[in-house]
Structure 1
């Protein structure tokens, strides 16, 4: 059939197409009248912003000794924080709290909590807008007031969960330095106790200023080396040996080790190597020098961690509420389902295509009946179908 023949067929059977289109659209509209109405309430929240912290602002004050703190703070930045917050909203703990708070197992007529959780997930949606850096929480329910209450309660249940988790960068840094600070405090106390015992045994109370300066310089260098080694070890987990930043860090570490070697010391915290050249300290006071060296080393490490810990506490206090509500959910004044206009339009389009198909089938049957040979074959087909049915 040519296009003109097709148009002639459609024009000849236009009433079949019209009746099918109108009938299907009218049927869809009537069905929409009996479908239960649903309302959607939305809450828009603002997650914490990744801004510069006090730790990074005061890092220059620590000089090269801040390598450990700088690395610890930078390595804890979140790659995509919005995705993490969305996952937290969708966590089983938050969903179960919502189900229990609004008695959703009875509402959804479910016997098992897992089934009620799936039903709730079909009625609630949490989406992150990467452009505006906002998170939208949508809750659908047949009661508009209940939908608004659930959308707002979703944020409340999330906040209850987040109170027990350190998900902010400052909170993570605070926990990290808090643990490291406790260990450094114990190490320093042990070193001080060992120095005290050495003083009592050797009778040596103090040393000359030159030896003291050399020991303190060596302790400072060892602290810098410890920080660089931690940074280098972590960088090797994601960077190749040809990485420019890794190569630069390795050169800085080698330079620090060379400076320490010039003083006669080494990087091992428990080593017994001398820190000052021979002749600077009497043989009787050599043990005192070693203990004093350990005390200065652990004092330097403790000072680094204490500064970073205090800055992390200030950052955490400045961070404030993790989630800020931009637009709280209000009672929706218009239903979100069913969308009668859209459903009716789609039904009309489906009816149009169905009507065209029926018109073409009717035209094909009519032509077959008009052709004697085709009519005979059609009769044989009908007879075969009757025998099969009987």
Structure 2
């Protein structure tokens, strides 16, 4: 029994035959853990050494200071529907902050060409762009973050970005207002010309017809003819009554006949003047013409008033620039934000530990691989081929 157990243990530790083990690597973690335990001193010393090196390097790195501006941008009424879908006004203002126009404006107002000793504005703009970051949070607040070696410079540049954005939007608002002003001004001048022409046509019609108040004057003309006709009827009745009790030589009959003839003459005179301008017969036609001219004047007056109000609204808009609600202005940072010595130390420790683990696991896997005779022959063949190639190249 004991002999069988000993034979079994011996066979389990004996390498596998080449035929059974060829092309395979047994991934047993025990040899790797044993190798790591044997190199435990290196697992401690190498990470400490690399951590100390990176920690020392961190003290040689320049100190960086961060300044941040946070503000709430206004919503633009001119934003198109396609732009608004899936995006916000903060994205639009962030794109403006990243533009070359604002960057050069910041460079100019802060005299950064002289500060950076750059050869031109584009070079200074490239430096400022590398220092600056712009972000939009979930509440649609915009954040301007500037990082540099000088805390005062970081604060100045961050605040200047905010001012440059306001100046750019002031120009954009003025340009849009000017466009709307030109759009309204041209029809306004045309409407003024049309109103003057309509007023002159109304004046000519009034002078030609003599009608200033067509409705009233037409009514009076018709009433004049009707009253004369009623007067004729009344005089005819009176004359008939007078003749019933007297002769034609009676003075009253003679007076009534004379008055009736006079009224009839007036009616005939009015009716005979139908071809003349001031004839009551032509009053409806003349009144219609004047009324049409008055309606034209009223129409153009209403249109002119509407365009004038639009022009006043545009002029008010032209003098208005959307305000940016400043939440947090930038101040010179008192404490540096980088380099972080703790991060450098942790990075060094991690690099050293990974180097040792990789080296130990690699060597252990290579040693396990060479336990197979087929793998040994392949490795020897690769070595001989490499040596012969190196010898030929060296010769």
| Structure 1 and Structure 2 fold alike (TM over 0.5) | yes
CA contact (8 A) 2:73 2:142 kept: yes
Task: Report 1:256-267 matches (<5 A).
Answer: none
Unaligned runs of 5+ in 1: 51-72, 211-280
The offset of 1:166, in angstroms, is: 0.3
TM-score (norm 2): 0.61
1:22 to 48, 53, 74: 48
Render the CA deviation track for 1:2-36: whole Å, top value 9, x for unaligned: 23443333323333443443333232222212122
Unaligned runs of 5+ in 2: 1-26, 217-282
CA contact (8 A) 1:28 1:343 kept: yes
The CA distance in 1 between the partners of 2:95 and 2:368, in whole Å, is 63
The offset of 1:124, in angstroms, is: 1.0
Q: Compared with structure 1, are the counterparts of its residues 127 and 289 closer, same or farther at alpha carbon in structure 2 (3 Å cutoff)?
A: farther
The CA distance in 2 between the partners of 1:144 and 1:13, in whole Å, is 47
Give the 3-state SS of the residue equivalent to 1:155 in structure 2: helix
TM-score (norm 1): 0.61
Give the corresponding residue for 1:327.
328
The offset of 1:384, in angstroms, is: 4.2
Give the corresponding residue for 1:99.
107
1:10 is the counterpart of 2:33: no
Q: Compared with structure 1, are the counterparts of its residues 348 and 293 closer, same or farther at alpha carbon in structure 2 (3 Å cutoff)?
A: farther
Give the 3-state SS of the residue equivalent to 1:118 in structure 2: helix
CA contact (8 A) 1:46 1:324 kept: yes
CA contact (8 A) 2:94 2:136 kept: yes
Equivalent residues, number? 293
The offset of 1:143, in angstroms, is: 0.9
1:32 to 46, 49, 58: 58
Two-structure CA RMSD over aligned residues (Å) = 3.8
Give the corresponding residue for 1:241.
none
The CA distance in 2 between the partners of 1:74 and 1:320, in whole Å, is 13
1:187 is the counterpart of 2:187: no
Give the 3-state SS of the residue equivalent to 1:138 in structure 2: strand
1:143 is the counterpart of 2:150: yes
Give the corresponding residue for 2:237.
none
Give the corresponding residue for 2:96.
88
The offset of 1:149, in angstroms, is: 1.6
Give the corresponding residue for 2:301.
299
Q: Compared with structure 1, are the counterparts of its residues 293 and 377 closer, same or farther at alpha carbon in structure 2 (3 Å cutoff)?
A: same
Render the CA deviation track for 1:314-342: whole Å, top value 9, x for unaligned: 6777x676223222111112222222322
The offset of 1:96, in angstroms, is: 0.9
Give the 3-state SS of the residue equivalent to 1:40 in structure 2: strand
The CA distance in 2 between the partners of 1:83 and 1:33, in whole Å, is 38
